[in-house]
Amino acid sequence: MLKKTSSQKIEIEASDFGDNFVWGVSTAAYQIEGGHNVDGKSESIWDKFVLKKGNIYEGHHGQNACEFYADFERDILLMKSMNIKNFRFSISWTRVLPKGVGAVNEAGVKFYNKVIDFCLECGITPWVTLYHWDLPQVLEDKGGWTNREILVWFETYVKLCATRFGDRVKHWMVLNEPMVFTGAGYFLGVHAPGRKGLKNFLPAIHHATLCQAIGGKVLRAKVDQAVIGTTFSCSQITPFSKKKIDVTAANKADTLLNRLFIEPTLGLGYPTENLKVLKRIEKYIQPEDNENMVFDFDFIGIQNYTREVVKHSYTVPYLRAKIIKATKRNVDTTLMDWEVYPPSIYAMLKKFNGYKGIKKIIVTENGAAFLDEKKNNKVNDLKRLSYLQSYLKEVRRAQIDGLQVSGYFVWTFTDNFEWAEGYYPRFGLVYIDFETQKRIIKTSGKWFRNFLVKNENKN
């Protein structure tokens, strides 16, 4: 239950969320593994993208990252000590299929088998993400997500993962945030592979949507008792004013950022009514594609960090809308210049609960980056602690109001490589000194550990 303290603040306990509520942490292969060219692993689009000057903050790269590949036991044991029972990680496509398809790299398969086995040995349930943005460069050289052949490439990759790991891994996520890897990577060019324009963006959207369903169908056929999901980035969109042009702009942004991938998955087709430019995607749709985009997922993962305030803009092509930066609105922000706005996660839970056909919703990412400072071998990250507690209160409020939500995964376990921002933003419950690779559990991590321990003791 929710309890009010003497200061009238709402206090939450993990047991309030129910005995079957899933608590965990999320990570991604390129962001933590390192070992970028060892034991048969080939180059991914991120391995290449980080090498071009100006792409990444201060020239950072993920070649070493958190050295998870070299010493995964260290972090899994630390996870166990923090009472974390569910670990979401991704498979590096290039580590198991260096050429994208064809010959299997047995050393890569062996590595993930060891990770999975050690998780189970430690009482931790593995949740595997199949695609978390690290496409083999050899496939990108053939067009990557813009090439319809990726439907075959991706099916081949998923079949390998299902057959080699599916006897022990029962919880799966097909894609991580397709709107982000297509938008940032194939339209804006700020993420790997650095492509720009509608000519890249639209086919990438469609092929990712089809692959999302293909992945689900392969897992359903190959893995007994599989629990299959996929994940979507989402942000509450608020119009800058009540003016019709700002409301219209906000609706367009909501269509692009929150509706584009979930609706075709549910059989609703692409949401072209509010964003006419999406009609151009029809040139890439072949017979039976609309049917083949649909898959009955066991759960949908939503990943929310903030809200966006949107106003009309004549200068922004296609969308005619622009986001007003949080720093210009005099609000509390994270190091990513994202507004700290806890009601956003409630709003997103409500939005996705409004769709018919979604069986279960899990928050598969939520967290914040702040300027963490190490003093006397401690990291007292009170802003992150406040952030996590306030967002969790909104998740609990959603439950109380009858909205369905079945789990919560913190982004992320340890500080890691944060894509274009490099190592500057730290999201972890655990601090990493990247020169020594030493781990320090932050104040937020200690709180989460105690939060989960109390839950276990009550069950």
Residue tagged 């991704």 (tokens): 90
Ramachandran angles phi, psi of 128, nearest 5°: -100, 130
CA distance 191 to 174: 20
CB 304 within 8 A of CB 394: no
CA distance 133 to 102: 20
Catalytic residue among 177, 308, 394, 418: 177
CB 177 within 8 A of CB 233: yes
Three-state SS for 11? Answer: strand
CB neighbours of 301 closer than 8 A, spacing ≥ 6? 173, 229, 230, 231, 232, 361, 362, 363, 364, 365
Through-space distance between the first and last CA atoms of the chain, rounded to whole angstroms: 14
CA distance 63 to 50: 9
Could you tell me how far CA 221 lies from the centroid of its own chain?
25
| Continuous H helices in 86-237 | 93-96, 106-121, 137-140, 150-165, 178-186, 198-222
CA distance 72 to 130: 19
CB 59 within 8 A of CB 53: yes
Q: How far is CA 400 from CA 250, 351, 361, in A?
A: 28, 16, 15
Rg (CA), the chain: 21
**∠ CA 86-92-96, rounded to 5°:** 115
Determine whether 177 is an active site residue.
yes
CA distance 269 to 306: 27
CB 369 within 8 A of CB 431: no
CB atoms within 10 A of CB 252: 22
Instruction: Count Cβ atoms within 10 A of the Cβ of residue 375 and give its class: 0-12 exposed, 13-18 middle, 19 or more buried.
Output: exposed
CA distance 297 to 302: 13
CA distance 231 to 253: 19
Q: Which two tokens stand for residue 117?
A: 């086995």
Could you tell me how far CA 53 lies from the centroid of its own chain?
26
Determine whether 308 is an active site residue.
no
Catalytic residue among 308, 365, 394, 418: 365
CA distance 37 to 32: 14
Instruction: Tell me the catalytic residues.
Output: 177, 365
